Amino acid sequence: MKTSQSLLQLVCRAPYKRTFLRNFKLITFNIQRRNYASLENETVKTAEIHKNESSKAVNYTTDIYTHLKRNPNFKELSPDDIKFFQSILSPSELIVDNGNNQDDLIPYNTDWMKKYRGKSKLVAKPKTVAQISKLVEYCNVKKLAIVPQGGNTGLVGGSVPVFDEIVISTNNLNRIRSFDPISGTLVCDSGCILEALDNYLAEQGYMIPLDLGAKGSCHIGGNVATNAGGIRLLRYGSLHGTVLGLEVVLPDGTILDNLSTLRKDNTGYDIKHLFIGSEGTLGIITGVSILTPKRPKSVNVAVFCLNSFQNVQEAFIISKGELSEILSAFEFWDINALKLVKNHLVQGANFPLDDKYPFYVLVETSGSNKDHNEEKGVVKDGVVAQDNTQIQNLWAIREGIPEAGSKSGSVYKYDLSIPVPVFYNIVEETSNRFKDAGIFGKDKLVTDVFGFGHIGDGNLHLNIVAKSYSPEVAKLTEPYVYEWTEKHKGSISAEHGLGLMKAGCIGYSKSQKMINMMKQIKQSIDPIVSIGSKTIQTPAIEKRVADAYIGTVKFIDKRLPVITGAITPVL
């Protein structure tokens, strides 16, 4: 291995040299090329682990959120409806509640955080787009509520039913349709698992421009529907930049054929962007065309610990300046997150980091040329040696943080975009609120508050671990966290989406004018409204939470019933 230059030295270049030399301590070097394929196989797969655990003990969403009322305009499932579903789907593509098969339905009714649980009696798992089109058309005519579901790895309660909505799962819609090795354009069904796509692309020398902890379970369609961000956004940009086309089943069953593979096409409005991040409220994404980048030939990783959040910011600025086009990840976590991982996931002697520094950053570089990357990203000989196991562990720390939190208790997750200078303040201030209320401590209601996230994107994940989901905790964080974010011109949902959790909170991040325009667009795609009928009826897809909000969420004055339809991601 070539080790000609120190990453520490690189990061410590003028004018920050003195500051950084005082405050940095290099914990470990991991300069061997990261083997994407093998790493992925060993990655902690949060969602899968949780899938295998029983979810029978989870409370029904309607029992916890008692203000949610079912919209009586939606009819209940009848024997005739079931017959129709049976005429479209084979027995293996359909689960119908028969009184004895609750266990089969639970995985589709419950989210992996065990925070939300619906009461659906029918799960459809079609294999073709034509089937989905027929089912959606039928539901729309019959006024049967639907919730689309992908890998069900969402964090905001958007992918599971609230009441008795029919679940349309993309589990069986998992075909790779085409790949062009010259342009790097991949076209696939929306139910393809992210990691499966990446493994397929690896064989062609390409990679999927998106990477996140749930990659072993989440579907590409759900990623698009929620505009998932993840750890590669810094380098490859958002899905608005990489998705080239989408195929979507609209609420009236129309199949929108916008599955372009062209990198440039300026003919009319670029409709696909409406569906990216719309969380399934405007239609069900069934096909995705995406531009994939060349797989880096060389990947280097290092982790630093730092003495202040100011240092974290400085490290990012310098890394961005010096590493520029080869910087592929700049992740951060705090000591509380580290301790949780150490205690719950990676116990023993092979844990590579000391837990005595307040902040940690993981820097990854990747590029086309092994030698050049090593020159850019390599550290000196003689500092902590490394092997593959240790590299895996380093990544496992970052990717295991959400799971470590969940193992420790019931987790409140806030996914915020915040200007970097005040980025970490919300973690400290939230902790103080619990301390002041006397409910923070080892044997108290709240046991942990920690922060981690993507510095490069201004995306903080604020997590609060409690003994159980409780109004006492929620009262101290909501709307406090949302108001704080609004005050600092941030976003209350950076990458998780609104879901059921934040459906009523859009007003903290979007103006009334913007919300009005969203309503106009929603109405224009609404199959009843759009054909010009005077009677504005409730469409089948995605109004379920709008309907749910017939009740009142007292602390959120800004909730907007219609737009709260933005809550049923395919993720």
Within residues 440-459, the interface with a second copy by CB under 8 A covers 456-459
Nearest to 40 by CA among 187, 184, 191, 212: 212
The distance of closest approach from Cβ of residue 504 to a second copy in the complex, given in angstroms and rounded to an integer, is 12
Q: Which of 237, 384, 441, 487 binds a second copy (CB under 8 A)?
A: 237
**Kind and range of the H or E element at 485?**
helix 480-487
Asked whether 328 and 366 are in contact (CB, 8 A), the reply is yes
The distance of closest approach from Cβ of residue 122 to a second copy in the complex, given in angstroms and rounded to an integer, is 28
Q: Hey, what's the torsion of the CAs at 470, 476, 480, 484, to 10 degrees?
A: -110
Cα separation, 297 vs 33, in Å, equals 8
Q: Which of 229, 280, 405, 451 binds a second copy (CB under 8 A)?
A: 229
How are beta strands 243-249 and 255-258 bridged, if at all? antiparallel
Residue 447: CB atoms within 10 A of its CB come to 19
Binding range to a second copy, per CB under 8 A, among 11-19, 99-107, 523-531, 546-554: 523-531
- Residue 334 is a binding residue for a second copy (CB under 8 A): no
- Alpha-carbon distance values, 163 to 68, 232, 483, 547 (Å): 9, 36, 30, 11
Q: Which of 167, 218, 276, 353 binds a second copy (CB under 8 A)?
A: 276
Binding range to a second copy, per CB under 8 A, among 119-127, 258-266, 425-433, 436-444: 258-266
In terms of CB distance, is 90 or 308 closer to a second copy? Answer: 308
Site string for a second copy, 145-184 (x = CB under 8 A): -------------------------------------xx-
Residues 284 to 313: which contact a second copy by CB under 8 A? Answer: 294, 296, 313
- Residue 6 is a binding residue for a second copy (CB under 8 A): no
The distance of closest approach from Cβ of residue 497 to a second copy in the complex, given in angstroms and rounded to an integer, is 5
Tokens of 148: 């689309």
Cα separation, 320 vs 317, in Å, equals 5
Tokens of 321: 């300046």
Nearest to 336 by CA among 360, 315, 307, 352: 360
- Residue 535 is a binding residue for a second copy (CB under 8 A): no
- Residue 375 is a binding residue for a second copy (CB under 8 A): yes
- Residue 238 is a binding residue for a second copy (CB under 8 A): yes
3-state class percentages of the chain: helix first, strand second, coil last, to nearest 5: 35, 20, 45
The dihedrals phi and psi of 559, each to the nearest 5 degrees, come to -60, 150
In terms of CB distance, is 195 or 495 closer to a second copy? Answer: 495
Across 35-50, b (16+ Cβ under 10 Å) vs e yields: ebeebbeebbbbbeeb
Q: Which of 30, 120, 417, 568 binds a second copy (CB under 8 A)?
A: 417
Residue 184: CB atoms within 10 A of its CB come to 20
- Residue 494 is a binding residue for a second copy (CB under 8 A): yes
Q: Which of 3, 32, 254, 310 binds a second copy (CB under 8 A)?
A: 254
Angle at 554 between CA 551 and CA 555, to 5 degrees: 145
Contacts of 96 (CB under 8 A, 6+ apart): 82, 85, 121, 122
- Residue 527 is a binding residue for a second copy (CB under 8 A): no
Residues 114 to 143: which contact a second copy by CB under 8 A? Answer: none
Q: Which of 62, 310, 390, 530 binds a second copy (CB under 8 A)?
A: 530
- Residue 241 is a binding residue for a second copy (CB under 8 A): yes
Give, as one character, the DSSP assignment of residue 510. Answer: S
Binding range to a second copy, per CB under 8 A, among 124-132, 386-394, 417-425, 444-452: 417-425
Contacts of 264 (CB under 8 A, 6+ apart): none
Q: Hey, what's the torsion of the CAs at 8, 382, 295, 237, to 10 degrees?
A: -20
In terms of CB distance, is 132 or 506 closer to a second copy? Answer: 506
Tokens of 85: 């579903």
Across 463-502, b (16+ Cβ under 10 Å) vs e yields: bbbbeebeeebeebbbbbbbebbbebebbbbbbbbbbbbb
Tokens of 229: 């961000």
Q: Which of 221, 222, 277, 409 binds a second copy (CB under 8 A)?
A: 277
In terms of CB distance, is 43 or 319 closer to a second copy? Answer: 319
Give the bridge partners for 117, in sequence order.
Answer: 110
Q: Which of 95, 492, 501, 545 binds a second copy (CB under 8 A)?
A: 492
Site string for a second copy, 187-206 (x = CB under 8 A): ------------------x-
Site string for a second copy, 46-65 (x = CB under 8 A): --------------------
- Residue 356 is a binding residue for a second copy (CB under 8 A): no
Binding range to a second copy, per CB under 8 A, among 28-36, 144-152, 405-413, 517-525: 517-525
Q: Which of 72, 267, 442, 443 binds a second copy (CB under 8 A)?
A: 267
Q: Which of 4, 38, 101, 369 binds a second copy (CB under 8 A)?
A: 369
Binding range to a second copy, per CB under 8 A, among 117-125, 195-203, 330-338, 494-502: 494-502
- Residue 2 is a binding residue for a second copy (CB under 8 A): no
Residues 382 to 401: which contact a second copy by CB under 8 A? Answer: none
Binding range to a second copy, per CB under 8 A, among 13-21, 116-124, 193-201, 512-520: 512-520
In terms of CB distance, is 29 or 275 closer to a second copy? Answer: 275
Cα separation, 149 vs 284, in Å, equals 9
Asked whether 431 and 440 are in contact (CB, 8 A), the reply is yes
Q: Which of 140, 174, 226, 292 binds a second copy (CB under 8 A)?
A: 226
- Residue 325 is a binding residue for a second copy (CB under 8 A): yes
